[in-house]
Amino acid sequence: MSKHSALNTFGRSGNPAFTKNFDNAQTFSQTERMTLDGAVNKTAILLALCFAGAFAGWNVPALAMPGLIIGTILAFVTIFRSPAKAGSTAPFYAAFEGMALGGITVFAEMQYPGIGIQAIGLTFGILASLLFCYKSGLIKPTENFRLMIFSATMGIALLYLVSFIMSFFGSGIGFIHSNGLFGIGFSIFVVGIAALNLVLDFDFIEEGAEKGLPKYMEWYGAFSLMVTLVWLYIEILRLLMKLRSR
Amino acid sequence: MNAIFFGILTIFSLFVFMNLGKIKASKKQMDRDDRINWGSKRKPNFQQNRDGSKIIEGRAEEVNDGNQK
């Protein structure tokens, strides 16, 4: 590693959270390093907090909107401002996002009873099956794979943003929310992209543990997995609602 | 029935995640040349003058005119 800061920052990835830490791995002692065990345990803690938040949101649906807003702010803070402090922001993110999911699920359940447990089962089913595919080497993420998933994710985010802005003017992109074949096809595509983002998260955690990143990156890896799981759950819920409304 | 099936699926999937997640990925996955390099877009090679500078890693040695032929 060069001692020159200009060289250290030269030619790095666009993601500020990942790049700063991967190349400083050797400066940490063995006990301060990221491990697979640690990342999985921290994901379990975040999931438990998310379920606790969801319980609160389920019983008090009015918590859904504040939970969504605060959770989104915390997500942006964790990604862009303080990945090293993910240990303190990620648990709050999980709890607030859980509140939002609990409230959203109540509304979905009122319309289509039993839809919540279906969405939860499918989300974790996809998580487990993709983890198996990744660990066994059936799915091999490459740079092209990452580029493809990143582009598709950004495209979807842009489409949602445009639709959100258009909704203020009484308009919108109709097919996104429709329950027609095109709308369902779009939802299946989004679920697929959200699911493949999990593979990128697995690869990030695996390589982080292999390279011996600092311990706090366990929290960051768990946080990134949580963000993807939350997105996947919402998209599966939307897909199931479209299917049930036909 | 619906709740039982998806409830079992959820618990089983979480069990798989908690156990499989702690195991290292297979060699087939890890020993590849085309793995994602999360650290940088290009593999950093500081031996080359990638930014055009004249920085050379290592100890500096004094050069005097007497050494030149």
Residue A13 has pLDDT above 60, yes or no: no
Interface test with A, best of B9, B14, B51 (most A CBs within 10 A): B9
A68 touches B at CB < 8 Å = no
Q: What's the pTM value of the predicted model, to 2 decimals? A: 0.82
Name which of A54, A69, A68, A71 is nearest A117 in CA terms.
A54
Residue A25 has pLDDT above 60, yes or no: no
Across the interface, of B16, B25, B40, the residue whose CB is closest to A206 is B25
Residues in A touching B39 (Cβ below 8 Å): 12-13, 18-19, 22-23, 211
Is B6's CB within 8 Å of A141's CB? no
**Which chain B residue has its CA at the smallest distance from A23's CA?**
B39
A34 touches B at CB < 8 Å = no
Q: How far is B69 from chain A (nearest CA, A)?
A: 33
A246 touches B at CB < 8 Å = no
**Mind giving me the DSSP string for chain A?**
--S-HHHHTTTB-S-HHHHHHHTTGGGS-GGGB--HHHHHHHHHHHHHHHHHHHHHHHH-GGGHHHHHHHHHHHHHIIIII-GGGHHHHHHHHHHHHHHHHHHHHHHHHHHSTTHHHHHHHHHHHHHHHHHHHHHHTSS--BHHHHHHHHHHHHHHHHHHHHHHHHHTTT---HHHH--SHHHHHHHHHHHHHHHHHHHHHHHHHHHHHHHT-BTHHHHHHHHHHHHHHHHHHHHHHHHHHHHHT-
Under the banding of pLDDT at 50, 70 and 90, the label for residue B65 is low
Query: What pLDDT digit, counting tens, does each position of A221-232 carry?
Result: 999 999 999 999
Q: How many CB pairs under 8 A join A and B?
A: 139
SS3 B31: coil
How big is the CA angle at A219 (ends A217 and A221), to the nearest 5 degrees?
65
Query: What pLDDT digit, counting tens, does each position of A132-143 carry?
Result: 999 999 999 999
Average pLDDT over residues A43-50: 97
Query: What pLDDT digit, counting tens, does each position of A73-110 carry?
Result: 999 999 988 788 899 999 999 999 999 999 999 999 99
Query: What pLDDT digit, counting tens, does each position of B1-47 carry?
Result: 889 999 999 999 999 999 999 999 999 999 998 899 887 544 444 44
A117 touches B at CB < 8 Å = yes
Which pLDDT belongs to residue A60?
95
B65 touches A at CB < 8 Å = no
B57 touches A at CB < 8 Å = yes
Q: Determine the Cα–Cα distance for residues A241 and A178; give it in Å rounded to an integer.
A: 10
B31 touches A at CB < 8 Å = no
**Which chain A residue has its CA at the smallest distance from B18's CA?**
A40
Query: What pLDDT digit, counting tens, does each position of A174-208 carry?
Result: 788 888 899 999 999 999 999 999 999 999 999 99
B42 touches A at CB < 8 Å = yes
Residue B52 has pLDDT above 70, yes or no: no
Give the type of residue at A36: L
A156-to-A15, A187, A199, A208 alpha-carbon distances in Å: 19, 11, 18, 27
**Which chain B residue has its CA at the smallest distance from A130's CA?**
B17
> Phi and psi (nearest 5°) for B39?
-75, -40
Under the banding of pLDDT at 50, 70 and 90, the label for residue A55 is very high
Is B6's CB within 8 Å of A135's CB? no
Give the mean pLDDT of chain A.
88
Taking the mean position of all CA atoms in its chain, how far away is CA A136? 22
Which pLDDT belongs to residue A207?
93
B49 touches A at CB < 8 Å = no
Which pLDDT belongs to residue A83?
80
